[in-house]
Amino acid sequence: MLRKTLWVSLCAGALLAGAAPALAAPETPLHSELGPLTATRVAGDLQHPWALAFLPEGQGMLVTERAGNLRLVSPAGKVSKPLSGVPEVWAKGQGGLLDVVLSPTFKDDRMVYLAYAEGGGEGGKAGTAVGRGRLAADLSGLKGFQVIFRQAPKLSTSNHFGSRLVFDRDGSLFITLGENNERATAQDLDKLQGKVVRLYPDGKVPDDNPFVGQPGVREEIWSYGHRNPQGAALNPWTGALWVNEHGPRGGDEVNIVERGSNYGWPLATHGVNYSGLAIPEAQGSRVEGTLAPHHVWEKSPAISGMAFYDHDRFRAWQHNLFIGALGSQELIRLQLDGDQVVHEERLLGELKSCIRDVRQGPDGYLYVLTDEDQGALYRVGLQ
């Protein structure tokens, strides 16, 4: 069996190196339960793109490439040269330049936040770091980039960095962190592996974080017991943070993250090791003192970025959650009734591409990144 870690890190099995995407037409009709879809290829020739963020006033999109480049994609689909001022990244396996988000007050401060893998750990290991820089007026690069957070200790040899960045309604920054493929650390409150952390935009720890003042506990921690959370989004109707994460062989999860809660890994899981053997620490799919997944896949699609849909353009998508899938090469649509998942549909399988990220654009379309040697950006909508 192909290890899901290979899908997560390389995700190149769908296309031979240098091959064109399966659907290269400018606009291709696709099937969905809610009517025909269109997938318009906005830009191509992106090297394993990981995340995108929309600039205001129709200036285009910032797109990260895992190798370490930040690029500007114009509304017409022109891909810029790499922007300057981006930090050096540890681009091995799943490591590299990861998420990108704009400051909630971007119009005033022009701050761009980046999550990335950073080396320098003992024995050449790496961990997740987050920093911010000011986007130049001419969009050529970031000025004065400063690191505001570092995962400690650094334990990854190439796997399980997370990492998504989400600002809440109050302007606090959530960072999702993988457990660096060191399972037990997800339960260790003196380490930042397998955690969601909450910080102020400058990296300081809020006084109301759940473990502030407790000896031997990292005060950045908001929740723990996570494996490798590579999708996160703020519910626009409730303000709650939703996170999705890779299980091992089986047991991919969606969780609604609550303050100070334990999400179980590796004590509670619906999956097994890639070898087929049980997880040594596992005590079952439900363990007292941990929260069960809000939604779980017994067969892992290898999930990544996600976005809630809250726009008037396509009313049939209202109150739906969209999640990219690397292994099954689809866009997953979860229909919600309140917080409950009441239906699931798999979309864009015709693309035969690993879907790394999905975002709702200001125009009401979904924008999807495919994680490949020659990755692409698609604009997806209902006809």
Instruction: DSSP for 245-263, please give it.
Output: EE-SBS-EEEEE--TT-B-
Residue whose token pair is 């049939």: 316
Judged against a pLDDT cut of 80, whether residue 8 lies above it is answered with: no
Amino acid 259: pLDDT? 98
Q: What is the pLDDT of residues 210-247, one digit of tens each?
A: 999 999 999 999 999 999 999 999 999 999 999 999 99
Domains, the chain, in order of start with CATH, read 4-16+27-382 (2.120.10.30)
Residue 321 has pLDDT above 70, yes or no: yes
Q: Is the pLDDT of residue 131 over 80?
A: yes
DSSP code at position 14: T
CB burial of residue 236 (10 Å; 0-12, 13-18, 19+): middle
Question: Per residue in 160-205, pLDDT tens?
Answer: 999 999 999 999 999 999 999 999 999 999 999 999 999 999 999 9
| Alpha-carbon distance values, 195 to 19, 28, 64 (Å) | 38, 40, 23
Yes or no: say if 354 and 368 are a contact pair by the CB < 8 Å rule: no
Indicate the average pLDDT of the chain. 94
User: Which residues are designated catalytic?
Assistant: 160
Q: How far apart are CA 341 and CA 320, in angstroms?
A: 9
The 10s digit of each residue's pLDDT in 80-105 is: 999 999 999 999 999 999 999 999 99
Instruction: State the pTM of this model.
Output: 0.94
For residue 11, the model assigns a pLDDT of 66
CA distance 225 to 183: 9
Across-strand partners of 194?
Answer: none
Q: In the chain, what percentage of residues exceed pLDDT 90? A: 92
